């Protein structure tokens, strides 16, 4: 079971979700905030192969 997403670190909204990006068989997961439209770019993170990879990276905070 996937871990719950933390609120957006930019606007604080809980309106965040995971999404699968699939182009020509290349699949990456990312997290996006619907409120401020920020997203964790899957290519920047060397590709999130699983939904949990994207969640773990989104939930990471520098001071925690």
Do the Cβ atoms of 40 and 30 come closer than 8 Å?
Answer: yes
Nearest of 61, 55, 63 to residue 5 by alpha carbon: 55
The DSSP letter of residue 50 is S
Predicted pLDDT at 23? 81
Which pLDDT tens digit goes with each residue over 16-56?
Answer: 999 888 888 878 888 999 999 998 776 665 667 889 988 99
Integer Cα distance of 19 and 46 in angstroms: 16
pTM value is 0.79
Using DSSP, state whether 54 is helix, strand or coil: helix
Residue 21 half-sphere exposure, CB side, CA atoms within 13 Å? 15
């Amino acid at each position: 079971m996937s871990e719950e997403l933390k609120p957006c670190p930019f606007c604080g909204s809980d309106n965040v979700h995971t999404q699968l990006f699939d182009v020509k068989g290349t699949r990456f997961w990312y997290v996006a905030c619907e409120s401020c439209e920020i997203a964790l770019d899957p290519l920047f993170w060397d590709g999130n192969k699983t939904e949990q990879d994207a969640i773990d990276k989104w939930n990471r905070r520098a001071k925690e």
